[in-house]
Amino acid sequence: MAGAAPPGAPATTATYVYAVCRGGDESALAGLRGQAPGSPVRLLRFGGLAAVVQDVPAAEFGEDALRERLTDRTELERCARAHHAVIAAAAGVAPVLPFPLATIYRGDARAEAALGADRARLTAALRRIAGRAEWGVKVYARQADRRTAPAADKPERPDRARVAARPGHAYLDRLRGLRHERESRQEAGLQAVEEVDRSFARLAVAARRLRPHDTGLTPGRGAHLLNAAYLVDEARGDEVADAVRRLRRSPECRDVEIELTGPWVPYSFVEAGVTGAGG
Amino acid sequence: MTLTSHQPARAPAAGRLDLDPDRVGRDLVSLVLTVVELLRQLMERQALRRCDQDDLTDEQVERIGTTLMMLDQRMDELCAEHGLSRDDLNLDLGPLGTLLER
């Protein structure tokens, strides 16, 4: 343990913080591998709250070492999955406030001091997310070959004779057609997103728009139109699935694909809670 | 940070600088072609607007259309010469969307 190191010597372990919870039960964390298999995931109590922590090798979790590792997609995925597994296990027994990936302090004493100083904000955030779950809603444009847009919207096929006689005019007509199609597609996408957001706003106590991700990461999908997270009371979980079913059938959402994930530990609402925004 | 090209992930990881001279050359070509393509699209848009205003003769419109068509073909050829597709030229501007229309 970091505390055991002789004064002055650099600590060989650091304290990795996964989450903060109220109460909590160490037995729920038994057997978790976390980021450093071999050292137990445990609770670090401070002022009425508890942090879910683990001792990790300082050399592997230094600033440079971490940056190096997390730029590697495979390694990033492994770390994120380990991080989430611990948080999900902790969330099974008590409301937890998940911390960002790779929140690291130099030893328990530092972690305790820093978290203790933040106690009021953490308590408020915990109160805000208790009994609530996060649902992720993503909306993608349907890809061209799977669109159901009426044929009238498609640019007409120019007949060969006219093209041969006036290729310039034919090219301009084709441009106009493409432009018109693109505009109506964008318009339809916006309407779908609005409809989805309206439906969820009625269910959720808080909402956040996240940055749509690079379409290169989701091959086989159209443009990413909406990436939103909604904080919903656990009791209303069924209504979420109903809402998505209804939306998928609605005419506004004809040419989009709606993807629902959850319930999640409210990762996206930790910050909003901390700043005290919303209910 | 968010300015990433839509090219297939050739680099093992984002944020690392790869100084392989071949790749740097290719990346430069694709950047230049991106700028050319952006200008070409702007020109097309401007030309369409002019043609829609109805103050050009049929002949003028035909000439504009033919020029644009040839530019478009030339762009295809340039991309093919450098082993790129039109999609490769697009840039993801994060929250702003993509640089080029799709």
Looking at residue A162, which CATH number applies to its domain?
3.30.70
Is residue A262 located within the same domain as residue A139?
yes
Q: Least CB-CB distance to B61: which of A172, A215, A216?
A: A172
- In angstroms, the CA B75 to CA B85 distance is 10
- Backbone angles phi and psi of A37, in degrees to 5: -50, 135
CB-neighbour burial class of residue A76 (10 A; exposed 0-12, middle 13-18, buried 19+): middle
Is residue A101 located within the same domain as residue A142?
no
> Which residues pair with residue B17 across a beta bridge?
none
Residue B90, pLDDT > 90, answer no
| A77, A171, A209, best to mutate vs chain B, most B CBs in 10 Å | A171
Residue B101, pLDDT > 70, answer yes
| A175, A184, A185, A225, best to mutate vs chain B, most B CBs in 10 Å | A175
pLDDT of residue B56: 87
Cβ contact A216–B8 (<8 Å): yes
A27 in Cβ contact with A93 (< 8 Å): no
In a domain, B97, yes or no: no
Report the run of H or E that residue A51 belongs to, with start and end. Answer: strand A49-57
A197 in Cβ contact with A228 (< 8 Å): yes
pTM: 0.69
B91: which DSSP letter? E
Is residue A211 located within the same domain as residue A122?
no
pLDDT of residue A162: 66
- In angstroms, the CA A136 to CA B41 distance is 36
Are β-strands A41-46 and A132-141 bridged in parallel, bridged antiparallel, or unpaired?
Answer: unpaired
In this prediction, residue A152 has a pLDDT band, given cuts at 50, 70 and 90, of very low
Q: What is the pLDDT of residues B41-75, one digit of tens each?
A: 999 999 888 888 878 898 999 999 999 999 999 99
The domain in which residue A213 lies consists of 133-275
pLDDT of residue B102: 65
pLDDT of residue B65: 92
Q: What is the pLDDT of residues A240-274, one digit of tens each?
A: 999 999 999 988 888 889 999 989 988 888 874 33
In a domain, B89, yes or no: no
Residues of A with CB under 8 A from a CB of B: 71-73, 166-172, 175-176, 179, 182, 211, 214-216, 223
Q: Tell me what the pLDDT averaged over chain B comes to.
A: 79
What percent helix, strand, coil does chain B show, rounded to 5?
60, 5, 35
Cβ contact B65–A71 (<8 Å): no
Cβ contact A168–B72 (<8 Å): no
**How close is the nearest chain B Cα to the Cα of A75, in Å?**
11
Is residue A147 located within the same domain as residue A262?
yes
Nearest chain B residue to A227 by CA: give it.
B95
**How close is the nearest chain B Cα to the Cα of A172, in Å?**
6
Is residue A20 located within the same domain as residue A109?
yes
Q: What is the pLDDT of residues A71-125, one digit of tens each?
A: 888 889 999 999 999 999 988 888 899 998 889 999 999 999 999 998 888 998 8
Is residue A97 located within the same domain as residue A149?
no
Is residue A92 located within the same domain as residue A219?
no
- Backbone angles phi and psi of A259, in degrees to 5: -120, 130
Is residue A118 located within the same domain as residue A150?
no
A234 in Cβ contact with A263 (< 8 Å): yes
- Report the pLDDT averaged over residues A187-202: 91
Domain count across chain A = 2
A92 in Cβ contact with A70 (< 8 Å): no
Percent of chain B topping pLDDT 70: 75
pLDDT of residue A274: 39
- In angstroms, the CA A25 to CA A93 distance is 7
Residue B3, pLDDT > 90, answer no
Of A70, A102, A130, the last residue of a domain is A130
Is residue A177 located within the same domain as residue A202?
yes
Report the run of H or E that residue B67 belongs to, with start and end. Answer: helix B58-81
In this prediction, residue A128 has a pLDDT band, given cuts at 50, 70 and 90, of confident
The domain in which residue B43 lies consists of 21-84
**How close is the nearest chain A Cα to the Cα of B90, in Å?**
11
In a domain, B26, yes or no: yes
Is residue A140 located within the same domain as residue A254?
yes
In this prediction, residue B16 has a pLDDT band, given cuts at 50, 70 and 90, of low
Q: What is the pLDDT of residues A220-238, one digit of tens each?
A: 777 788 999 999 998 998 9
In this prediction, residue B18 has a pLDDT band, given cuts at 50, 70 and 90, of low
- In angstroms, the CA B60 to CA B54 distance is 11
Cβ contact A172–B48 (<8 Å): yes
Name the E strands within chain B: 4-5, 91-92
In this prediction, residue A182 has a pLDDT band, given cuts at 50, 70 and 90, of confident
Cβ contact A71–B72 (<8 Å): no
Cα-based angle A259, A260, A263 (whole degrees, multiple of 5): 160
Other Cβ atoms less than 10 A from the Cβ of A265: the count is 22
pLDDT of residue A157: 57
Of A83, A111, A130, the last residue of a domain is A130
In a domain, B33, yes or no: yes
- Report the pLDDT averaged over residues A207-213: 83
Nearest chain B residue to A212 by CA: give it.
B95
- Report the pLDDT averaged over residues A41-59: 91
- In angstroms, the CA A260 to CA A240 distance is 9
Question: Higher-confidence residue: A148 or A119?
Answer: A119
Other Cβ atoms less than 10 A from the Cβ of A168: the count is 21
Is residue A200 located within the same domain as residue A125?
no
Are β-strands A256-264 and B4-5 bridged in parallel, bridged antiparallel, or unpaired?
Answer: unpaired
Is residue A234 located within the same domain as residue A265?
yes
Classified as helix, coil or strand, A16 is strand
Cβ contact B66–A167 (<8 Å): yes
Of A130, A162, A180, the last residue of a domain is A130
Number of A:B CB contacts under 8 A?
57
- In angstroms, the CA B56 to CA B36 distance is 26
- Report the pLDDT averaged over residues A9-38: 85
Domain count across chain B = 1
In a domain, B72, yes or no: yes
pLDDT of residue B86: 86
